[in-house]
Amino acid sequence: MQCPKCDAEMEDVEIYNVIVKRCTSCKGLWFDHAKHEFLRDQEDADEIDTGDPEFGKVFDKKGDISCPGCSATMIKMVAVDQPHIHYESCSQCFSVFFDAGEFKDFVVKDIFSFFKDLMAKER
C-alpha cells in the first residue's frame, strides 16, 4: 500500500490486535473502518505515532488525497473537540488518515491539554 500523501510504502503496525498502516517516510497513519476511535481509548495506543509533528504539519497542507484503501477522494475533517487537528476521512470505506503527530494529539483528552495550557501561562 502506498501513502496517499507522499507515495512512499506503508508498513503494518499492530497494536491491540488492530493493524494500522504507517508510512515509512512521512509517518502518516491510516486506520481502516474508523479504528482510530477504538484506539483513542486504549492506553498508550498513541505510541504508534512516531513521526515528527513539525514534519506532519507540512503534509497536513497537502489536500485532495485518494484513499489508499478504495481510491475514493478523502474528505478533509476537523476533530470535533480539537479543531486544530485536521485529518482526512473516506466516506466510502470509513478509513481515516492522520499526519505525523496528529494521532498523538487526538488521543490526549481535553482536560489534559487544558491543564497544559494553564501551566504554560504560569511559567
Q: CA-to-CA distance for 42 and 24, rounded, in angstroms?
A: 24
DSSP secondary structure string, 79-97?
A: ETTEEEEEEEE-TTT--EE
The alpha carbon of residue 15 and the mean position of all alpha carbons in its chain are separated, in whole angstroms, by: 15
Name the residue nearer to Zn ion (CB basis): 66 or 113: 66
DSSP 3-state assignment of 106? helix
| Nearest residue to 55 via CA among 96, 107, 8, 120 | 8
From residue 15 to residue 44, what is the string marking binding to Zn ion with x (rule CB under 5 A)?
Answer: --------x-xx-x----------------
Task: Indicate whether 69 belongs to the interface with Zn ion (CB under 5 A).
Answer: yes
- In the bound complex, what is the minimum distance in angstroms from residue 29's beta carbon to Zn ion? 10
- In the bound complex, what is the minimum distance in angstroms from residue 87's beta carbon to Zn ion? 14
**Segment interacting with Zn ion, rule: CB under 5 A, options 38-46, 48-56, 63-71, 104-112:** 63-71
Task: Indicate whether 45 belongs to the interface with Zn ion (CB under 5 A).
Answer: no
Q: CA-to-CA distance for 33 and 12, rounded, in angstroms?
A: 15
Task: Indicate whether 48 belongs to the interface with Zn ion (CB under 5 A).
Answer: no
Q: Which residues bind Zn ion (CB under 5 A)?
A: 3, 5-6, 8, 23, 25-26, 28, 67, 69-70, 72, 90, 92-93, 95
